[in-house]
Structure 1
Amino acid sequence: MNHRQKDVFRYLQSHSERWVLSNELAEFCRISTRSVRNNISKIKDEMPGAILSSSQGYRFANSEQTAVPSSEAESRETQIFLLLLKKSDLGINIFDLADKLFISESTVRTDLQKLRKKFADSGLKIKTKGNEVFLNGGERAKRKYMVSLLYGEGDFKNQLKVSVQNMIGFISMSELEATIQGQLKKKNIKISTYTLYNIALHFAIGMARIREGHAIKATGKVGRIASTPAYELSVDVSDAISERYQVQFSELEKEYFSLLFIGIQNDIQEEKMLSNYVQSDVKEALKSVLASVEETYHIDLRSHDFFVKLAVHIQSLYYRSQFDSYARNSSLQDIKASYPLIYDISVYIASMIQERLDIDFNDDEISFIALHLGALLESQQKMDQPIRVALIAENYHSIDQVIKDKLQTALGKHVSIIDEAAYKEEYDVLITTSRRVVSKQAGSVFINPLPTNSDLVRIQNRIISIQKQVQDREIYRYIDRFILRELYFNQTDPVYLTPAEIRQQMVARLVRHHYADKDYLESVEKREQMSPTSFPSGVAIPHSVVLNANKSGVSIMTMQESIQWAYYPVRLVVMVTVNPQEAQIYNVFFEKFIEILSDPVNVQLLSEAEGFESFKMRLKTLVSDSSSTVE
């Protein structure tokens, strides 16, 4: 090593107990940060494993420290993607990337090349202009890749439960959920998995807080809550939990927990109570922040339940921050390591809320936001349930476990394998090493006791086929749910109509059937003025600027001939209304619908449908045809 490299090495060696930033090294060695990176790179070449580098800086690797995990490069690629995502239009300097990630420019270029390969079929491209790097691609492609990264962080449901389980100790999170659900069933109340988890999460946090001696302080903000159904539910659930776990909840705690049950019974009084508790500036700040998160990270956070629960949490934090009484729980810190992407988004949310409301967040409070976000993403992931594979194998020298492990490795996390003891439960594919079972179970797949590549290919083809069928059936259900006869206009003659008059007719029918209010037309026209909603394929999709409909639905108008709609001739008009509470599942359907409507041949077929039933049948056929071209 030359003298500069020796200086860098010795400085890191003498500060081996911590990470050292590049500017600190640069100041000590009297060189630039770029020279620091280059010297570190050369030291690593000469002495592999001697220096660790991460987003925290550089560190000397002594014998007591573990080496950088093999996933470090993959983690860097993800960080590069996030940095490019946030600056898609402006681009980012390659030297700034190296500075932020504490790596050399050559390593950045290598990581960028790896990302280019990963983006091959994603619709995303990395472009360089001089030393500036840009991420090019459409909104849909960015969102799809971002979601794949988020889902790739692991099984939210199980791992988040582990994090919370560590926090509450001996209390079983699953039992806590069962206790809550038992009380709701007594009142014939059904809630989603996400809502149940979120309620259980808040009770778990409350129990941990009470155990540590941090009771909720009076705020005087809830008011007149005792007469609401939400409060009655809170008392029932709180008392059941108290009896089971010997944790006593105060009256203030029960009032706070009642906010978790708002909207479950669609009680207008409850919504007013929420307004009394959550200040308008908190709600407006949160709306603005979540909109910015969606725009920056290209993920869908439009869930009424998620917004309500997070608003309650932020309001509680707002009160507690005035007394410097933050939630503290070190067991939640593993979220930062386990879910770096979710945590990164949570930091972004926290920083923007902090800026708008002038409140501080510690790491634990950010972890609580990450729990909310992770639970929402986990509920969204349920849209793509794993294929259930039943396995019946000869149990000879534990060969059944060998087969199970091999299948799980080959088929990945999108497949859930259940063994013979549970195979009588519902399953999608039955795999067996028994000829006898094959002869009795139609559609089962025979494999050898030691599965060959041909066996695995056969299984994968069957699973792909089933996945397409499952996805198609889901879209069929959404077609039946959102495309309704009462909103259908068949073969309208557009000769004496303008696009504005068509929009008026369609909105009038939506209002008549209570899908939207009278002011919906104003919002639709505002969106049309921003940018016409007609497309080259021959379809127009007018819609509101905001998600403010009473019910989600799709109004269809087929026309006898084309009408000029801004820049394009249109034969099919699709007016959409979206209720915020249904945005999540509606987006799953509408993304597929838009994909079909982007093809002029498909638009032509749909516009020529003779009536409502014919239209729906043609649409379902196009869904099936588009699925068969996947892969």
Structure 2
Amino acid sequence: MELCAMSDKQTRMLDYLSQTPAWVTAGELADLLGVTPRTVRSYITTLKAAAHPLEVVESGAAGYRLDLEAYAAHRAARRTYSEPETPRNRLYALVRRLTEAEAGLDVYDLSEELFVSDSTVDADLAKVRQLLPDTGLTLSRHGSVVTLKGSETDRRRLLSRMFREESSRGLLELEAIQKEFASESLGAFKTDLIAMLDSQGYFVNEYGTNDVLLHVAIAIDRVTRRTAPVFASAPSGPPDDMTLALSALVTRHFQVELGSGDLDYLALLLKTRVITPGQDQPAAVLIESFVRTEDLESVRRIVGQAGEEFLVDLVEENFIVRLTLHVRNLINRAQDRSYSHNPLTRSIKTSYPMIYELAVYIASSLQRQENIVINDDEIAYIAMHVGAHLQQQSRREDLVSCALVCPNYYDMHVLLRERIERVLGDELEVVSVITRSDVEWVGIDADLVLTTIDPAVPSEGVIVIQPFLTEGDIERVRKAASRIRRMRRRAHLKDDLLQFFDESLFSHNFYAADESAMIRALGERMLMQGTIGQDYIDGAIERELMSSTAFTDNLAVPHSMSMTANRTSIAVVVNDSPMDWGENRVNVVALVAFSKEGRRSFQAVFDQFVEVFSDRAAVQRLVKRSVDFASFIDELVHLMDQ
């Protein structure tokens, strides 16, 4: 079964299984996808049959689990052999032919060539029309002839988008592009292209490189076939060094000479999706050579407001300058409706919701200022800039305090401490070293004790290590430090979080028509209590329209970006059956109202609240047992104590 032939729900099922090492029941998958367990079993049966004789899915009493090795072999085999004809393949082939046929295609000729009925072709054409809104293209029909009308730019964008949808989710694979467009030289071209960009002093965004290579392959394919005119554009002056180098690379690798229009467009894609100038150059040089003053002032203002709102330090000059360079390219992409795909969007949103919220705030301000639309992928790129900056500011208080017990023997304790600090310095801080063998274990004041001798009484916080630290020791210490940090965070979370819940704001099995309706219903309860005003409800709906607040497969946390509540409070709904929320289906909806005085609570609570709900099995237990407010609080505390 080829991935592109699957429905969205089948693809989501496969994505979830590929990312979940534990067994997953048919019921869990049914809740996730919004189908019946019987339909899930049908999906599994179809997948198994398509992959035979490989056993890509294991079945058992505990449910289903993907065999990653067999699945990888199945995907590799599909790349080797030609794919069977499928409705999805046929639709993609039809779009390609329509983009190539300036005079249009005859419906009856198509049905004979494809060995399908006229009604099937008509149905496929109806699907093509559904793809065209917001593309700049239209499909017209005169008698039996259908014609795709629109610019060459829009045709290529449609081909690029459809090909991406045909490919597996995540990073666009170079191998798939080469196969589709018979561009075997594309790999060598990419190597030389990156070397050329690096030599000209650019940062290269690898996540966007293959996306641009897809446009290169499409351009070469269409120019070689002579099915469409080369881009026509009035020369704005002599080509720059990048365009000249790009032209030379294309000619050398593909024996094709692209016109100035094509080269200008591909160079624009490189400049707005792949490269950022100023590698290894200080902020002052970047400002003088590459940054527009109005862009810098705008970003400085927006970032300053975001820092004040979220109580974080975002004023570092190098960060602001590099974000400004990114923002200029982002604005150009948004104005051109040519967004850059980000394969990390989902993981960033799920793993770093607070950083993602900061990015949403920045994107929202840019969106209003520039009158553009910024999608989730572009928000995630902003989050990557913000996250990288904040990571450099990580506070030492996040480190786990550690006491080292190593009886004195020459300088063994010194060497061991140096080794620990060298390989585990990002995890823990050695606060004391005990070199005696008669240790007062109960008097040691540290989160974690590492000892080369056995303790009097085994304890979870005491780890016996070898005098010469082994890889196994390092792994065990890392896990212990991670557990301590998690327990520390959740202890603070429980203290902060439980005070925000109110029994009158708890609902069990309450459903609404959509996200906005649920936000209004929960918001009206808070409104009646005087917790928030109508402006907060409107702000929460506006935030939801910007980017879905379903941060996990189980939980949605709608909220306003403006902290205008009179007091911090949470209205929560726990439903046995999940409801659609963005691209997810969630059982728990928590409308969070934060006041200005509660901003620090927002910082402390948000990431950890989402983390608590990231374990699907644990949340399913909470959902099943939370029949009222008391049982919900009991189960929530249990979750936070794990």
For normalisation by structure 2, the TM-score amounts to 0.38
